Amino acid sequence: MIPFMPSAAKQVERDIQIREQRSLGARIADLASEHNLSETRIKQILKEESSVPTYWSANMQSKLLMTRRDQLLELYEELTETARAMPASQASAKIGAYKAAQAALDRVIKFEETSGLLPRGKVFALFA
C-alpha cells in the first residue's frame, strides 16, 4: 500500500508549522509523533529551505516574526503578573508561576536566536 502523500500546498503548510513549533522549543521526537513522520524526516524539513514560501515578502515575514515574538512576550508578562499577584501564603503556586514565566522568557530568547533577531548563544554574554 502506498502511503498517503498530502498535496504540495499542505506539505508546505505542515513544514512551516514544524519549523515554527521547533523555533518555539518543540522536541524533534514530539514533532515526529504529532505529524506522523520519522525523526529523520523532521530533521530534513528543518534543514530544507525549499518549503518556505518564496512568495512571502520580507515585510510579511518580519511582521509574522514580530507578531509571534509579541505573543510570547505577552505570555511572559501575564505569567509574571500572575506570580506577583499571588499571596506569599501560596508559595508553591507563586514559585510555579515564576518558573513558568522564566520558561516563557527562555522561549522568547530561543525564538529570537532561531529567527536571527539575536545571535545564537550570545545572549548571556550581554549580561556578563
Q: 52 pLDDT band (50/70/90 cuts)?
A: low
In a domain, 118, yes or no: yes
Q: What's the total number of domains in the chain?
A: 2
Same domain, 64 and 116: yes
Higher pLDDT: 103 or 8? It is 103
In a domain, 53, yes or no: no
Q: 57 pLDDT band (50/70/90 cuts)?
A: low
Q: 122 pLDDT band (50/70/90 cuts)?
A: low
Same domain, 84 and 62: yes
In a domain, 25, yes or no: yes
In a domain, 113, yes or no: yes
Helices within 24-57 (DSSP H only): 28-35, 39-47
Whether the pLDDT of residue 128 is over 50: the answer is no
Q: 74 pLDDT band (50/70/90 cuts)?
A: very high
- The range of the structural domain enclosing residue 72 comes to 58-127
The long-range contacts involving 10-15, CB below 8 angstroms and separated by at least 24 positions, are 11/51, 12/51, 12/53, 15/45, 15/48, 15/51, 15/52
Higher pLDDT: 101 or 48? It is 101
Same domain, 89 and 112: yes
Mean pLDDT within 39-53: 77
Same domain, 65 and 123: yes
Same domain, 106 and 78: yes
